[in-house]
Amino acid sequence: MGVPRALPPGTAAEAAPGYPPGTPALVELQGITKAFPGVLANDAVDLTVMPGEIHALLGENGAGKSTLMNILTGIYQPDAGTIILDGYARPLPSPQAAIAAGIGMVHQHFKLVPAFTVAENIHLGWSQTPRHASASALEARTRALAERFNLAVRPEAVVGDLSAGEQQRVEILRVLARDARLLILDEPTAVLTPAEARELFSALRTFRASGNAVIFISHKLDEVVAIADRISVLRGGRKVATRSAAGADERSLAALMVGHDITLRRTRRRAPGTPVSAAPVLELDRVSARDDRGLPALREVTLALHGGEILGIAGVAGNGQRELSQVVTGMRPVAQGTVRIDGRPVARPDAAAFAAAGIGHIPEDRLRSGLAPDLSVTDNAVLRDYAGPRIGRGGLFRPWEAARLARTLAADAAVAVPDFGMPIRNLSGGNQQRLVARREIRVAGRVLVAAYPSRGLDVGAIDTLLSYLAELRDQGRAVLLFSEELEEILTLADRVAVLFAGRIMGVMPAAEADVETLGLMMGGRDGRA
């Protein structure tokens, strides 16, 4: 155990009314500071979590939430600051130490071994795993644990084959099995349908009832207000406020998050009388496609996208969005069915030909597929134009012309680039994304496919980006918008389609859609029934 502090942490009880004075906080962070190259991720952050509370941690992307939690789970070491558990200062030099102290985390990107079974994953690195660990013994133990914590998992299933929601249950079970008293959840609802999220919330309330605590990380204001007892807001690496959830209103929380008053989500309805093209510019006719492992991912999808409209695709991540976005941009071959551009069937998928036909693509994972991070800003800027006449005439590559185009794009995107020859990874994530967006809008003469365009951006940048999409629509081009946030789709799109298990569950005008119906459809139920 660590060194007992001279004074009981009275501040904790003060900050959390309803506790007798002198009650030690379950966790108290004091002055936590952590720097990464070019970023001060945490700057003297104080945070107190009492036993029996659900404490929400609210903040934009890059506000320092994940870093703070990685410090609390022993993965990162703070540059400065103290961690106090149950009134005792205790360094957490490793994940082992954090687990031993009763701190468990369910990461946003699950820390599971995809090739292992559920039972093997539950027993990883656990001192209570029997030394002779045969598959059957581990599965029997897992079954018992699943029963004890009332979490339905299949012990013998391979984790890589499970849905994101099932994987989350495995992670939670693993944490609970290790007798965690503090459960940290990082953006847990991103992979859940509304119904699954409600189940999770009731499980968390049960956990809280036995004197345990939860830290709930999110950027969704409504669910934070619904589930939390107290809410702490992080902005730019600093903690700017801790509020009681009772009586907190979303608008003021949003202002705290962003740092200035904002109008919550402007609607960008089309100007009345904006024309929609009669014939679809892009059409899918009973298209089926397989994922990277060869399993069916899209089943008989039929969609028609018209010029001058935004079609939103709603659904829980992992229901075929990735494959759909790749099929409509020529990156993935179709197993069955026809893709038509301007009424003409596409003979074979060719991403370069789709781009040349005026289909731009802001991909889901910018760094993994939209950019080559190690190459220069210039090389990345011309990914769509290198074969064009200016840069690529006669099979050559003209670096000076490439640099000129790169400067134009950077100016349009309002990104300051000190040196176009440096690797693009040296730019901030937001700037990389703005460059990709500009590059793709430039080629999107007919259609822009935007997969999760707001992911990883701060509120101001999201606003700019979404207004680009509305502008494109008003110019008569078509936009296919993938998003995991219903609100974003409902405020921006003209029509909404819901994707579940690779099928289109239904398409409806956004004006007629309501969250409840969409939620049902996202969970696989027929919304009309």
Sign of CA dihedral 292, 297, 303, 309: negative
Residue 280 is a binding residue for another protein (CB under 8 A): no
Amino acid at 339: V
SS3 of residue 241 by DSSP: strand
User: Which of residues 80 and 411 has its CB atom nearest to another protein in the complex?
Assistant: 80
Piece in contact with another protein (CB under 8 A), picked from 190-198, 282-290, 315-323, 362-370: 362-370
Residue 211 is a binding residue for another protein (CB under 8 A): no
**What is the C-alpha to C-alpha distance for residues 58 and 233, in angstroms, rounded to an integer?**
5
Q: How far is CA 70 from the centre of its chain?
A: 17
Which two three-digit tokens encode residue 430?
């937001």
**What is the C-alpha to C-alpha distance for residues 307 and 475, in angstroms, rounded to an integer?**
9
Rule CB under 8 A: which of 291-310 touch another protein? none
Rounded to 5°, angle at Cα 363 from 359 and 367:
135
* Binding residues for another protein, total number by CB under 8 A: 76
**What is the C-alpha to C-alpha distance for residues 524 and 522, in angstroms, rounded to an integer?**
5
Rule CB under 8 A: which of 457-496 touch another protein? none
Residue 363 is a binding residue for another protein (CB under 8 A): yes
Among 395, 418, 512, 529, binds another protein (CB under 8 A): 395
**What is the C-alpha to C-alpha distance for residues 496 and 491, in angstroms, rounded to an integer?**
11
Rule CB under 8 A: which of 317-356 touch another protein? 329-331, 350-355
Among 2, 19, 35, 317, binds another protein (CB under 8 A): 35
Largest distance between two CA atoms of the chain: 80
226 contact partners, CB below 8 Å, separation of at least 6: 201
Residue 186 is a binding residue for another protein (CB under 8 A): no
Minimum Å gap between C-beta 290 and another protein is 14
Residue 80 is a binding residue for another protein (CB under 8 A): yes
428 contact partners, CB below 8 Å, separation of at least 6: none
Contact 152, 145 (CB under 8 A): no
Piece in contact with another protein (CB under 8 A), picked from 76-84, 189-197, 209-217, 488-496: 76-84
Which two three-digit tokens encode residue 339?
């893709």
Q: Give the x-and-dash track for 42-71 against another protein (CB under 8 A).
A: -xx----------------------x----
Minimum Å gap between C-beta 373 and another protein is 7
Among 124, 140, 414, 515, binds another protein (CB under 8 A): 124
Q: Quick one: DSSP state of residue 282? A: E
Piece in contact with another protein (CB under 8 A), picked from 117-125, 144-152, 333-341, 496-504: 117-125
Minimum Å gap between C-beta 388 and another protein is 10
Minimum Å gap between C-beta 155 and another protein is 14
